[in-house]
A and B are shown apart, each in its own frame.
Chain A
Amino acid sequence: MIIDINFVGLIIASIMASAVPLILASCGELITERSGVLNLGVEGMMIIGAISGFALMTVTGSLIIAVFGAMLAGVLISTIFAFLTQTLITNHVATGLALTIFGIGISAMIGKNFVGIPGKEFPVLFEGLKDTIPLISPILFGHSIVFYFAFALPFITSYFLKKTKIGLIVRAVGDSPESASNQGINVRIVRYACILYGGAMCGLAGAYLSMIYTPQWIENMTGGRGWIALALVVFSTWNPIKILIGAMIFGGLTIIQFHMQAIGVRIPVQFLTALPYIVTIIVLVVISRDSRKIRLSTPSSLGKSFHKDN
């Protein structure tokens, strides 16, 4: 059997494409969590981004407005979360759940008029180079700008956290809000910013799904990706580079599913669909078993409210 080397390249490219929304959402949530805030609303923010992007694209016809609009929608919806958890000091877990339930409902409500409308073609970069080098070209060239951004993001995030002053402030707020506050850092504002940034990235992840990956609006189309993104942050032990690895594994599971069905492997389709969720659980178990390692890498104040008495 001769394996077409370009076909292998295409499979790898498709795995990368399905990893994009996970990378975007996870990197956003990672910053939020590094500041000490656990936002379980990722799924809700993603689905809001998905419908906002698709709706704006259909109504305005402009892809740029749609992409940035989706990010803005993510910011707006996460503002609710930020206001509740930071200003009104509500419980992070419950507020995040409310955000997801609310987001799924609102998106379906808005999306009612957009079901069945075909998507638009999203421009790709370096298309001319697609056939130059076997195996490598399909992986490197001919993707949307969001794709390239997603694969740069973990490195940018890592640099931001390790090398910049603001990154240091974010980590300080997450690890010890009391000391950060004593140093004159406004913990609340930093956390607000990190939550809103997380919202923007989740919005972008959703827009990628509805505008580039699928591309159309399907109700509940995030299908648990937001939760997998949350699991990826734990998997990465809050290290952005490892998010890249995790997202590729999960992207791979999604793509393998399709190919196994295509070549007629006799495993029930439901089992293959369940695979990413089951693997997530197994991976979480393996990672979390070492409780010392988890304790060392988890932002110390994660999920705990901070209120400065005036």
Chain B
Amino acid sequence: MIKIVKRDQPSKAIFFFTPVLAIFLTLLAGGIIFYILGFKPFEALKFFFIVPIADKYGFSELLLKATPLCLIAIGLSFCFKSNNWNIGAEGQLTFGAIVSGGVALLFYDQKGFYILPIVILAGAIGGMIYASIPAILKTYFNTNEILVSLMLVYVSKLILDYLVVGPWSNPEGFNFPETRQFSDSARLPLLFEGLRIHAGIFLALAAVVISWFVFYKTYLGFQMKVSGFSLKTAKYAGYKGKKMIILVFLISGACAGLAGVGEITGPIGQLHREVSPDYGFTAIIVAFLGRLHPVGIIFASLVVAITYLGAETAQIFMQIPKYTGQVFQGMILFFLLASDYLLFFKFKFIGSKK
């Protein structure tokens, strides 16, 4: 007989094992879905998860997609650890891209080493401004941050659309919905000839290191952890709750804004309608899959980035609809949450009594 028993303490080993289990279950379920859709499951999975990263170019594309995911997820982990549900990173990314793009356009015909840092800074500030809206409304007007941050995603995309179609559209661009090309001085340098991976990856790595330091070596990190466990305890300990809410939103917004900078000053080099294929939403999954741990998030961002590439490859080679990527992303989160059950409960085998 099997009995389900509550664990006295959440198991630490299982805490880091369940993401792997979740990925495995996702592959299994994905194979079944492919089979139902009439594809050969193993071949489909191969095109989805192995073919895209089998060569140098593919690997560079993987890092290119993982960079924004990692950066945003690091920012989100600050919010999620302290129980703040910022789900509007997509909007913060877009607004960061708008502000940094606007600054880059000011310098479109100029050269100079100082331009890129200004553009990067502008993106971070843009993301922070945008993230401060749900934060301030939450702290001073008691407004639900989930709904506000999400509504702002739609608003930011419409602002971007307005700008690239209207006032910022390229005067020599035959009315295409895009801006001028930025000056080379406003572009993040490419790391290798012929590959699209750019210096933005260093921003992501810096975010990983800094967040690790803040989480585990500072008083602020400790405060965040306590507030995440219990707001009452945090209040009792005298932490300044409002300040912290605003701070974590600002950090998260800055990271998303930087991801936006990377998208427009990296391979694209201009603003257009679609600056991000929903990186801001997918990064929520990355943050959870990485267990809100900086190192975990690196691995998680690589795994989830494959679903982006895989969806493209599978579409080209097997005519599998590209939305399969999203389905996989949703499933990973489902399975991860489900396997968390093992953290708190265990199965006990009980010998039958005579």
Interface residues of A (CB under 8 A from B): 40, 80, 84, 88-91, 93-95, 97-99, 101-106, 108-109, 112, 224, 227, 230-231, 234, 268, 270-271, 273-274, 277-278, 280-281, 284-285, 288-289, 291, 294, 309
The 6 tightest CB contacts between A and B, nearest first, are A102-B330, A105-B326, A98-B333, A108-B323, A105-B327, A270-B162
B residues 309-354 with Cβ under 8 Å of A? 321, 323-331, 333-334, 337-338, 340-341, 344
- Pairwise interchain contact A231-B147, C-beta atoms closer than 8 A: yes
- Pairwise interchain contact B337-A94, C-beta atoms closer than 8 A: yes
Complex: how many Å from CA A144 to CA B152?
A: 34
CB distance from B37 to the nearest CB of A (A): 8
- Subset of 18 A-B contacts with CB under 8 Å: A80-B334, A89-B341, A93-B146, A94-B333, A95-B337, A98-B337, A105-B326, A105-B330, A109-B321, A109-B323, A227-B150, A227-B151, A270-B158, A281-B151, A284-B148, A289-B141, A289-B143, A291-B142
Residues of the B chain whose Cβ atoms lie less than 8 Å from the Cβ of A99: 330
Residues of the A chain whose Cβ atoms lie less than 8 Å from the Cβ of B162: 268, 270-271
- Pairwise interchain contact A90-B158, C-beta atoms closer than 8 A: no
Closest to A83 in B: B338
Closest to A104 in B: B326
Beyond A88-B338, A281-B137, 17 additional contacts (C-beta under 8 Å) are: A94-B288, A94-B333, A98-B337, A101-B281, A102-B326, A102-B331, A104-B326, A105-B326, A105-B328, A227-B147, A231-B147, A271-B162, A277-B152, A277-B154, A281-B148, A285-B137, A289-B141
Residues of the A chain whose Cβ atoms lie less than 8 Å from the Cβ of B6: 309
B161 contacts the other chain (CB 8 A): yes
Residues of the A chain whose Cβ atoms lie less than 8 Å from the Cβ of B147: 227, 230-231, 234, 280-281, 284
- Pairwise interchain contact B151-A280, C-beta atoms closer than 8 A: yes
Complex: how many Å from CA A94 to CA B333?
A: 8
- Pairwise interchain contact B340-A90, C-beta atoms closer than 8 A: yes
A288-B161 contact in complex given A94-B288, A99-B330, A227-B147, C-beta closer than 8 Å:
no
A288-B330 contact in complex given A109-B324, A112-B321, A280-B147, C-beta closer than 8 Å:
no
CB distance from B221 to the nearest CB of A (A): 21
- Pairwise interchain contact B330-A93, C-beta atoms closer than 8 A: no
A270-B330 contact in complex given A101-B285, A109-B324, A278-B155, C-beta closer than 8 Å:
no
B144 contacts the other chain (CB 8 A): yes
Interface membership of chain B positions 148-187, coded 1 if the CB is closer than 8 angstroms to chain A and 0 otherwise: 1011101100110110011000000000000000000000
- Pairwise interchain contact A101-B288, C-beta atoms closer than 8 A: no
CB distance from A55 to the nearest CB of B (A): 14
Residues of the B chain whose Cβ atoms lie less than 8 Å from the Cβ of A285: 137, 141, 143
A105-B324 contact in complex given A98-B333, A288-B141, C-beta closer than 8 Å:
yes
Complex: how many Å from CA A84 to CA B333?
A: 11
CB distance from A286 to the nearest CB of B (A): 9
B98 contacts the other chain (CB 8 A): no
Interface membership of chain B positions 259-282, coded 1 if the CB is closer than 8 angstroms to chain A and 0 otherwise: 000000000000000000000011
Residues of the B chain whose Cβ atoms lie less than 8 Å from the Cβ of A270: 158-159, 161-162, 165
B87 contacts the other chain (CB 8 A): yes
Closest to A43 in B: B150
B299 contacts the other chain (CB 8 A): no
Closest to B134 in A: A281
Residues of the A chain whose Cβ atoms lie less than 8 Å from the Cβ of B85: 93
Closest to B324 in A: A109
CB distance from B199 to the nearest CB of A (A): 30
A294-B142 contact in complex given A101-B285, A227-B150, C-beta closer than 8 Å:
yes
Residues of the B chain whose Cβ atoms lie less than 8 Å from the Cβ of A227: 147, 150-151
Complex: how many Å from CA A95 to CA B324?
A: 19
CB distance from B315 to the nearest CB of A (A): 10
Complex: how many Å from CA A138 to CA B42?
A: 57
- Pairwise interchain contact A274-B155, C-beta atoms closer than 8 A: yes
Complex: how many Å from CA A105 to CA B146?
A: 21
Residues of the A chain whose Cβ atoms lie less than 8 Å from the Cβ of B329: 101-102, 105
- Pairwise interchain contact B330-A103, C-beta atoms closer than 8 A: yes
B284 contacts the other chain (CB 8 A): yes
Complex: how many Å from CA A40 to CA B145?
A: 13
CB distance from A67 to the nearest CB of B (A): 25
CB distance from B312 to the nearest CB of A (A): 15
CB distance from B308 to the nearest CB of A (A): 12
Closest to B80 in A: A94
